[in-house]
Structures are given as structure tokens and as C-alpha cells.
Amino acid sequence: MIEISQLEKIYSTGKDCMIAVKTTNLTIIEGEILGIVGESGSGKSTLGKMIIGLERPSNGSITYKGHPLWNKKKYNRVEAGEIQTVFQDPQSSLDPRMSVKDIILEPLLALSKVERKEKGNRERLLQLIKRVGLKEEHLDRYPHEFSGGQRQRIAIARALITDPSFIVLDEPTSALDVSVQAQVLNLLKELQKERNLTYLFISHNMSVIRYMCQRVAVMFKGEIVEVGDTKEIFEHPEHPYTQKLLSSVLTIQNDTDTQSIILK
């Protein structure tokens, strides 16, 4: 579905250059959840931003169903609402001065009038918010009245209103508590199955990646050092960085389970 080839992003700040993403190749297959893990600053978000048009690649190309997303300096939007995003911080990704209803309907502003009418009708809206676990009376409230998990549900509803096929999820649960994270992950997974969505799932949490993704790409200093089947990579990590990453995960081991790290 998405073909990334020789993609590069170089930020130049004054004299210095900073290579955020280094000649990257990656394929995202329709209907899959592809995970991206890596340490902070390894270029995960930058990669996602180039797909959704927030950062311009310095080199290389991204195609979406064969259609190039970047034409020189300009972002070629496939079709408004086809690619959507959910960001990490639900606090700042929702405009504090807009009601929940306006927030969810906002992406429709980019559509034609006819489509806006069709996709923004009240019935569809109500169905959608119910699906993500919100209530009708929430529509007239403002973001600050919601908890982190609820805000993330609002962000998910907003992403779904246009019926996208592909969603970039940049650390969608990193700001949430375990118990809330579980609710949101369940929702995301169910939605993906129901609507046959494709996700690019960015996270630094290995357990979340293991649970959510069929395939995973490990990023290290701007490069994808390993890509493959999640299970395969978790069981037989090849790259030293992947190995280090996996061995750093602090888990709650059961008494019988000795493979988890026990500190000296």
C-alpha cells in the first residue's frame, strides 16, 4: 500500500546538519499493522510526518497505492481524509476552544460540500462516537472536561470521520495509564479489523508493539536496522540494537520465568 524508497530527511540548523532519517526503504502492506520502535530521537515521528505531509523529505520518495505523495516540494494529498493521524498527546492535539462535535467533524472541512453533508450527518456522527466509547451528551463539551483516555477516543473518532484507509498512530497510548491504554489498544485493534484499516503504529513500548503489530521495523539513529515479523524479531533479534532494546525491557517475571532480566 505504501512504498517508501531511499527516503531521507536532513534538518539543517545553522551550520550543522542533522540526519533524522537516513536512506530508508520500507513497504507497508494493505491491512497490516506495521510497528516502528526505536529510541527517542531515532526518527520514528519524522518518518510518520513525511507520510502525512508535515515534513518534506530531503530525498527519496513515498508512494501511496502507486501514487507519489511528494512532488518535489509539494505534498500531493491522495484524497482528503484518506490518510489520517492520531498523535501521542491528546491534550495538545485537540483545540481547547472547540467543542467535541466541531473537533470530530473538522477533517470534513477539506472535503467537497456533497461529501461533507454525507459524511457529517448526525446519524453517522452518533454512530461513530458510540463506537469509540463516547456518549451523545459529550458532543457539546470541551476537551478539558475529558480524561486522557477519552481525549484519545475523540482523536480516534476525528481520524475515522473521513473513512480513511490508512492511519499513522504516533505513540497513541504513551501518555496514558496502563488501564486506559488497554481500553484504547482494544478499540484500535477492533476498529482495524472491522474497517480493514492499515496502521503505521509508532511506539517505544515493546510490549505494546508485540501485542498490536504483525510486523515491526526497528529504528536506530535514523536508520531502519531490522524489519520483519514481530514474533520472529522478538524471538530472534538479529541487530545488536534490537537485542539491547529487548533485554532492557523491565517486565514482571513469573517466578518460573528466568529469561527476564534480574538485576545483579
Partner 1 sequence: MQINYSSKTLKSNPIWYKLKQNKMTWVGIIILALIVLFSVIVPLFSPFDPNKIDLVNKFQPPSSQHWFGTDEVGRDIFTRILYGARLSLGVGILIIVIAAAIGIVIGTISGYIGGIVDTIIMRFVDMILAFPNLILAMALAAVLGPNLQNAMIAIAIVKIPVYIRLARGEAMLLKEKLFVKSAETFGINKGLIIIKHIIPNAISPVIIQATLDVGDTILLIATLGFLGLGAQPPTPEWGAMISIGWTYLLTYWWYPVFPGLFLFLSSGALNLIGDGIRDVLDPKSAR
Partner 2 sequence: MLEIKNLHVDFEGMRGKTEALKNMNLSLNRGEILGIVGESGSGKSITALSILGLLEENAIISKGRILYNGDNLLELSKKNIQALRGKEIGMVFQEPMTALQPTMRIGKQLFNVIKQHRNLSSKETKEAVLHALRDVHIDNPELVAKKYPFELSGGMRQRIVIALAMAAPPNLLIADEPTTALDVTIQYEIINLIKELNEKRGTSVLLITHDLGVVANVCDRILVMYAGEVVESGNTKDVLSHPIHPYTKSLLNALPDSVEPHEPLQAIEGEPPNLLKRPKGCAFSERCHFVMDICKEEHPELKDGGSSHQASCWLEKVIV
Ligand X SMILES: Nc1ncnc2c1ncn2[C@@H]1O[C@H](COP(=O)(O)OP(=O)(O)OP(=O)(O)O)[C@@H](O)[C@H]1O
Residues that bind partner 2 (CB under 8 A): 39-40, 147-149, 177-183, 185-186, 189-190, 204-208, 210-212, 230, 244-245, 247-255, 261-264
Q: Does 44 bind ligand X (CB under 6 A)?
A: yes
- The smaller minimum CB distance to ligand X, of residues 21 and 128, is found at 21
Whole-number Å distance between alpha carbons of 60 and 9? 9
SS3 state of residue 109 = helix
Q: Does 172 bind ligand X (CB under 6 A)?
A: no
User: Hunting for cell 484500535 — which residue is that?
Assistant: 188
Q: Does 13 bind ligand X (CB under 6 A)?
A: yes
Q: Does 40 bind ligand X (CB under 6 A)?
A: yes
Question: Which of Mg ion, partner 2, ligand X, none lies near 20, with the C-beta cut-off 5 to 8 A by kind?
Answer: ligand X
Looking at this protein, which amino acid is placed at residue 62?
I
Q: Does 43 bind ligand X (CB under 6 A)?
A: yes
Whole-number Å distance between alpha carbons of 126 and 108? 15
Q: Return the bridge partners of 62, or none.
A: 4
Q: Does 45 bind Mg ion (CB under 5 A)?
A: yes
| Geometric angle at alpha carbon 106, from 101 and 108, rounded to 5° | 115
Whole-number Å distance between alpha carbons of 237 and 27? 20
Tell me which residue of 73, 83, 89 sits closest to 160, measured CA to CA: 83
Q: Does 204 bind ligand X (CB under 6 A)?
A: yes
Question: Which of ligand X, partner 2, partner 1, none lies near 18, with the C-beta cut-off 5 to 8 A by kind?
Answer: ligand X
- Contact between 191 and 127 (Cβ < 8 Å): no
Question: Which of partner 2, partner 1, Mg ion, none lies near 178, with the C-beta cut-off 5 to 8 A by kind?
Answer: partner 2
- The smaller minimum CB distance to partner 2, of residues 21 and 245, is found at 245
- The smaller minimum CB distance to ligand X, of residues 41 and 240, is found at 41
Whole-number Å distance between alpha carbons of 180 and 202? 18
Q: Does 38 bind ligand X (CB under 6 A)?
A: yes
Residues near ligand X (CB under 6 A): 11, 13, 18, 20, 38, 40-46, 204
